[in-house]
Amino acid sequence: MNSDINQAPAERDTEWQLRVDLAAACRLVALYGWDDLIFTHLSVRIPGPEHHFLINPYDLMFEEMTASALVKIDVEGNAVAATPSMVNPAGFTIHSALHMARPDAHAVIHLHTRSGQAVSAMRDGLLPCTQTAMIARHDLAYHAYEGIATNHEERARLAEDLGDRHTMLLRNHGTLSVGASIGAAFLRIYLLERACDAQVAALSAGRDALLDPPPGMADLVSRQSPAPAADMLAARLAWPALRRKLDRHNPGYAV
């Protein structure tokens, strides 16, 4: 286990469980085909006053991620525990911005999928053309492209643009989600990615061929799917099921 020797046993146990869940999320990203070689990033904040968080190392494929391989860093990007690995500089900028600004953003997932990038580059963004899009859309923010995210001054604008929402399209870049748990962030990114996939497929028929939902339906769906529902669904149902799926297809992450 990669943890501080000064940690109390309960703190070490908490960190280890977060490591296992984050490694599982990384492997699930690969299982769903959302990985981008080594170039995207997931993180989780460790409880405590130090504001430390775990993030995937820059030298591992997502399908081979393990709990002990994750890197613990502070909000300045410094490694807290000894590690042979480096951290993606752009990943640090994006994740530290949201961990610092949002107390409830315990987990952050950022992806560069084909459909996510495509919708992020569409002038109208995510359209309410499917039920999944309507579920995701009312909790979705947008952030204008500022180049590769190595400028720490961008952190304030990332946090401001996310506001109190839980998902974001980084324009001309990709998708992002935050959650009170890794499972909640994963469920939200799943819904956003699923909506983007459907939109790209539907637009192959042309914008004029899309059937808009009846008036008022997008607002109804937003009321039917409040943001806290993702936390409950993830904790009780989706995340345990996803962990079981991963154990069948790619075990070995909890080491």
The DSSP-derived string for 49-107 is TT--EEE--TTS-GGG--TTTPEEE-TTS-BSS--S----HHHHHHHHHHHHH-TT--E
Residue 198 — pLDDT band, cuts 50, 70, 90? very high
Mean pLDDT on 171-181: 97
Residue 142 lies in a domain: yes
In percent, how much of the chain has pLDDT > 90?
Answer: 81
Residue 156's CATH number? 3.40.225.10
Residue 58 lies in a domain: yes
Residue 2 lies in a domain: no
3 pLDDT higher than 60: no
Residue 3 lies in a domain: no
Summarize pLDDT for 11-24 with one digit per residue, the tens.
889 999 999 999 99
- Residue 85's pLDDT is what? 81
Residue 126 lies in a domain: yes
- Residue 75's pLDDT is what? 83
- Pairwise CA distance, residues 118 & 86, whole Å: 29
Mean pLDDT on 227-248: 92
- Cα dist. 88→132, 200, 230 in Å? 31, 29, 28
Residues forming beta bridges with residue 170, ordered by sequence position = 143, 174
Residue 1 lies in a domain: no
- Choose between 168 and 80: higher pLDDT: 168
Mean pLDDT on 35-58: 93
- Residue 83's pLDDT is what? 80
Mean pLDDT on 185-191: 97
Whether the pTM exceeds 0.75: the reply is: yes
Please give the distance of CA 25 from its chain centroid, rounded to a whole number: 9
What is the H or E stretch that residue 217 is in? helix 217-224
3-state secondary structure of 21: helix
1 pLDDT higher than 50: no
6 pLDDT higher than 70: no
Number of folded domains that form the chain: 1
- Residue 206's pLDDT is what? 93
Q: Of 199, 197, 192, give the one whose Cα is nearest residue 129.
A: 199
5 pLDDT higher than 60: no
Please give the distance of CA 42 from its chain centroid, rounded to a whole number: 6
Residue 197 lies in a domain: yes
Q: What's the first-to-final CA gap in the chain, in angstroms?
A: 8
Residue 68 lies in a domain: yes
Q: Which domain holds residue 227?
A: 9-249
